[in-house]
Amino acid sequence: MLTLSPVSAEEDTRWFLGFKAGYFSPQEDGWDDIYGDGNVEFVGQGGLKISPKWDIGIEGGYFTEKGSSRTPSGGISTLRQKIQLFPLKVFFIFNAIFEKSQLLVPFAGGGYSHVIFLQSLDGQSTISGDRSGFHGRGGLKILLDIIDPVGADAFNIGWGVKNTYFIMEAQYSRADDFGSDSINLGGWSYLGGIVVEF
């Protein structure tokens, strides 16, 4: 792992913000038949760096899919339906960071999930509700400051951003009110994006 040059020395960071997008694949049985395999999910996160190794944060996301509805006998109806999910998560993360300006930072963590849903069907009113559960996450952060030290310095001076990472992350979530509901609004997320620390 490369060490940082004196030009872009890493300082202690307190907060982080990130934006990610990727693919969310719900795990509820039969989802593929109605809506297809999955769709794009957008996620924004922010939080506090308790220490260089430990983060605590909150995250909000958005996911939507449309598909044909079914009849009670299992046939395909001409009526269309749409579901929107707003996953909210509180999480802890452990970053495997052992020296300043570490290029590759594996991380893992998890926490509480709360998914709010809106579901609409042609000709009927939209219904809403929520499900609670948990999630686990893991991935890799790549420090971009090393790739462009001059840009990183400018970002620091102009915006106070000390570190910029490209993040790749996989999450597994389960949102079925901790097993008390038969419907699980969680699934697998595969996300990529940018996280800045300042």
Q: Tell me how far, at minimum, the Cβ of 139 lies from other proteins, in Å.
A: 25
Is 66 an interacting residue with respect to other proteins (CB under 8 A)? Answer: no
d(CA 196, CA 192) in angstroms, rounded, equals 13
Q: Which is nearer to other proteins, 153 or 177 (CB)?
A: 177
Is 39 an interacting residue with respect to other proteins (CB under 8 A)? Answer: no
Q: Which is nearer to other proteins, 65 or 145 (CB)?
A: 65
d(CA 153, CA 23) in angstroms, rounded, equals 33
Is 11 an interacting residue with respect to other proteins (CB under 8 A)? Answer: no
Is 24 an interacting residue with respect to other proteins (CB under 8 A)? Answer: no
Q: Which member of 23, 66, 130, 170 binds other proteins (CB under 8 A)?
A: 130
Q: Which member of 9, 121, 168, 170 binds other proteins (CB under 8 A)?
A: 121
Q: Which member of 167, 185, 191, 196 binds other proteins (CB under 8 A)?
A: 185
Which residue, 56, 45, 16, is CA-closest to 164?
Answer: 16
Is 5 an interacting residue with respect to other proteins (CB under 8 A)? Answer: no
Specify burial of residue 25 (Cβ count, 10 A radius: 0-12, 13-18, 19+): middle
CA 162 → CA 24, 95, 145, 168, 180, distances in Å? Answer: 30, 17, 9, 20, 44
Q: Tell me how far, at minimum, the Cβ of 191 lies from other proteins, in Å.
A: 19
Tokens 């509901």: give the residue.
181
> Residue 124 has which token pair?
């009927």
Virtual CA dihedral for 48, 171, 68, 118, nearest 10 degrees? -30
d(CA 188, CA 172) in angstroms, rounded, equals 5
Q: Which stretch binds other proteins (CB under 8 A): 23-31, 39-47, 100-108, 135-143?
A: 23-31
Is 178 an interacting residue with respect to other proteins (CB under 8 A)? Answer: no
Q: Which residues of the shown chain bind other proteins in the complex (CB under 8 A)? A: 14, 28, 30-31, 34-35, 60, 67, 69-73, 75-79, 81, 83-84, 86, 88, 116-119, 121-123, 126-130, 183, 185
